[in-house]
Amino acid sequence: MGDVFIGSQAVRSGQLTGYQLRTDFQSIYQDVYVPKSRAVSLRDRTVGAWLWSKQRATIAGLSAAALHGAQWVDDDIPVELIWRNTRPPDGVIARNERLHDDETTFVARLPVTTPARTAFDLGRHLPRGRALARLDSLMRAIPYSIDHSLLIAKRHEGARGVRQLRELLPLVDGGAASPKETWLRLLLIDAGFPKPTTQIPIHDRWDLIALLDMGWEQFKVAAEYDGDQHRTDRSQYVKDFRRIPTLERRGWIVIRVIAEDREDDVIDRVYRALTSRGWKP
């Protein structure tokens, strides 16, 4: 009996009594239990949803992305399954969709959509900006073939959201280290700037002195998103603050962006920096 299990099976096999099941364990889905003392994780709920499907469903979407190692996936998101039962319990999304044999794999003995098929689903079922952030995060965790995802899109031509998926796949970049970095990159692309390069290394001889979030090496202009770590990690803040003069001495203009900045202001600052370096819109 594992940490997540079918209650009726445990009682029938004699591993637990009905009393023990009721007093020491909590139900997360019908006849699926975990210990009451356990903080239920996304993985627990994913395993539980698969057990609820009688081990017939394939784990998909964000749940699959998390199993593949993608970051920034909260524990309370709905578990996504591909299965013919379209009346799942609360907290589970089941889609009756077709899967080809090469679109599934196993992670920790669980049936999961492949990274390329997972990307196909993420790019279709989420709003545009969030979809690209999830595609970036998946690429960062486990590089997948954009061409393979496009091939899957061709197989499922009439599927919902394929047009958005085809638009987003060429923009995927595993260099995005957070959803906010994806947001900033997409903002700049939508504004008409050239697609920026991510994770630009700056060296002093052999020493790495900076790794810029994104930018245009030709013009020596970079854009960086200053996230919450700059408020919570003082040493990181000081390190980042001190490297700016070093970068400026090497000819770089660094546009620092925070959550409170207006999008128009960010675009204007980048525009002025790029045009000052010779970029022509």
Q: What does the pLDDT read at residue 232? A: 55
Q: pLDDT tens digit string along 227-239?
A: 765 555 556 565 6
- How many folded domains does the chain comprise? 3
Q: Are 147 and 119 in contact (CB under 8 A)?
A: no
Q: Mean of the pLDDT values across residues 228-251?
A: 70
Residue 281: inside a domain, yes or no?
A: no
Q: Same domain for 220 and 166? A: no
Q: Same domain for 153 and 235? A: no
Residue 19: inside a domain, yes or no?
A: yes
Q: What does the pLDDT read at residue 203? A: 86
Q: What does the pLDDT read at residue 160? A: 93
Q: pLDDT tens digit string along 170-197?
A: 999 999 999 999 999 999 999 999 999 9
Who wins on pLDDT, 39 or 205?
A: 39
Q: Mean of the pLDDT values across residues 119-134?
A: 97
Q: What does the pLDDT read at residue 233? A: 59
Does 1 have pLDDT greater than 70?
no
Does 272 have pLDDT greater than 80?
yes
Residue 183: inside a domain, yes or no?
A: yes
DSSP letter string, 112-129: EE-HHHHHHHHHHHS-HH
Q: Same domain for 82 and 17? A: no
Q: Same domain for 128 and 33? A: no
Q: Same domain for 63 and 161? A: yes
Enumerate residues 6+ apart whose C-beta is below 8 A from 91: 29, 45, 49, 78, 79
Residue 62: inside a domain, yes or no?
A: yes
Q: Same domain for 156 and 268? A: no
Alpha-carbon span 37 to 24, nearest angstrom = 8
Q: Same domain for 57 and 69? A: yes
Enumerate residues 6+ apart whose C-beta is below 8 A from 55: none
Q: Same domain for 58 and 165? A: yes
Banded pLDDT at 85 (limits 50, 70, 90): confident
Residues pairing with 215 in the sheet: 197, 222
Q: Same domain for 201 and 262? A: yes
Q: Mean of the pLDDT values across residues 93-107?
A: 96
Q: Same domain for 46 and 32? A: no
Q: How far is CA 194 from the centre of its chain?
A: 24
Q: Whole domain around residue 20: which residue ranges?
A: 1-37
Who wins on pLDDT, 85 or 86?
A: 85
Q: Mean of the pLDDT values across residues 154-179?
A: 96
Q: What pTM did the predictor assign? A: 0.92
Q: Same domain for 23 and 85? A: no
Q: What does the pLDDT read at residue 204? A: 78
Q: Same domain for 255 and 191? A: yes
